[in-house]
Amino acid sequence: MRSIKMNLIRLVTMIALLAPMAAAQSTSIYIEEGPIDSMDHRMINVGDSAIKLGPNVKVKYPGKKKASLSDLKVGNYVRAHVVIYRGGDFVDKIEFISAKPPSNY
């Protein structure tokens, strides 16, 4: 009986120690920068990359406190912050840079 209790305690301890590692999803962030080629309510095409929009996309637009996706137009030069979550790429934040691409683009 004592060995069963000891094994059970060890098992519960291992699960408790390993559970946070199993629950944590690895997330990485990268930046895509370029003109908006196309955009709809699910995806945005920045430069050469088509990326899904995350559920809570934040838009930074100069002069507007509460900017939204409707403020962005095709052809605008933007910086998209992309998060890799559970194997998928999602746009988390979009920063408006200029209405036209910079001259060195």
Q: What is the pLDDT of residues 27-40, one digit of tens each?
A: 678 899 999 999 99
Q: Nearest Cα to 51, choosing from 94, 91, 93?
A: 91
Q: Are strands 49-61 and 88-98 parallel, antiparallel or unpaired?
A: parallel
Q: Residue 19 pLDDT > 90, yes or no?
A: no
Q: Using the structure block, give the residue that is written with the tokens 């999602």.
A: 90
Cβ-contact 82, 92 below 8 angstroms: yes
Rounded to 5 degrees, what are φ and ψ at 58? -100, 135
Q: Is pLDDT larger for residue 7 or for residue 58?
A: 58
**% of the chain beyond a pLDDT of 70:** 82
Sorting pLDDT into bands at 50, 70 and 90, what band is 67?
very high
